[in-house]
Amino acid sequence: MSLPLADVRVLAVEQFGAGPWGTLQLADLGAEVIKLEDPASGGDVGRYVPPFQEGESSLFFETFNRNKKSISLDLRHPDARAVLEDLVRAVDVVYSNLRGDQPARLGLTYDTLRDVNPRIVCCSLSGFGMTGPRAKEGGYDYMMQGLAGWMSLTGDPEGPPTKSGLSLVDLSGGYASAIAVLGGLWRARRDGVGCDCDVSLLDTALHELMYVGTWAASRGYVPPRRPNSAHPSIVPFQNFATADGWIVVACPKQKFWERLCEALGRPELAHDERFADFAARDRNRDELLEILDAAFAQRTSAEWLAVLGPAGVPSAPVNEVPAAIHEARVVEYDHAELGRVRQVASPLRLSGDEQPMRPAPSRGEHTEEVLARLCGYDPGRIGDLAASGVFGSQ
């Protein structure tokens, strides 16, 4: 019980990436997350995503579903509703990442479950939200990166609009939904009344336009796409090519700019009126970057980082992923089909005990255990339900 969420139970009707990422954060903090998988579709589609996939196990699925439990339940079956409601009585949260109109159709909203459990928190993470004209539309990360303007900000100015190298809208939507769940749960325990949490990928992506969105909404600002992943207004704050690769150099404070000038052996640049402050460097970025590009090309990445780091200039190599993993805190465990699995640990590091790592569950692995423990079903009741097909075909 020392884990922060050890007294929280979540029933998750989830699949693929965004939703499982959200509940993974809760599971890593100790919550009992029970995945409700549809037997008719073979469960979570993430089980079958290549590469590194064996049968119903994959490293993709492991990434999103460690430390969870799995039950099989066909929500379309006439006997499933009673089972679902018995589970709702025993949990704190019903979480789903389905199309926006599906929670209401499947009876996974607060209005449909409040009589079963008035404290239940019902969280929906969908593409476009549970209301409005697009609620019936499916939505995926790549679509949201286009709709929300992210692609227009990313990539070389002469190249096509480009998505992020990672599914950042999915991941951000998962984090946002986890925060919403914790807010709803806190209120439910304080006031005794649950709620709906309606989180959408599009709202999340638009919100993450952050200051660029404020500039656009307030002043009609159209952000330019800049070479070498440069910041829209702070100079220098971008990638630079070295003699053998690339490094990132960031000067988001005046003192860092002055330190950079010293580290480059060009202290006079700090006193040049063209580069004296943020606004001047932004106005004269082309002239300044010509000077900096020529300087950084003279040495290797390692040589520059050995100079910039001790000088107090924020800087880093542009790593490939295998090199980046060496910077990570890694957790590992053995899996029956996949062998040794190593994953990057959660960034949510609270003092006290950490959650021991367990492999992602096999499909329906915990059906009998969960129904017996949480719902009080005896073996006869479970056997009758199994025979009826509520857990899928035998």
Q: Among candidates 378, 371, 392, which has minimal Cα distance to 87?
A: 371
Q: Do 171 and 24 contact (CB within 8 A), yes or no?
A: no
Beta bridge partners of residue 240, listed in sequence order? 247
Q: How far apart are CA 171 and CA 20, in angstroms?
A: 9
Q: How far apart are CA 203 and CA 390, in angstroms?
A: 36
Beta bridge partners of residue 96, listed in sequence order? 13, 124
Structure tokens at 279: 């606004």
DSSP strand pairing (32-37 vs 69-72) = parallel
Instruction: Please report how the helices 379-388 and 367-375 are oriented relative to each other, as an axis angle in degrees rounded to 10.
Output: 130
Which residue among the candidates 28, 44, 92, 170 is catalytic per the annotation? 170
Q: How far apart are CA 315 and CA 28, in angstroms?
A: 31
Phi, then psi, of 124 in degrees rounded to 5: -115, 125
HEC states along 78-102? Answer: CCHHHHHHHHHHHCCEEEECCCCCH
Q: What is the DSSP letter of 353?
A: P
Q: Do 351 and 357 contact (CB within 8 A), yes or no?
A: no
Contacts for 268 with CB less than 8 Å, ≥ 6 apart: 261
At position 323, the amino acid (one-letter code) is A
Annotation says 101 is catalytic: no
Catalytic residues: 170
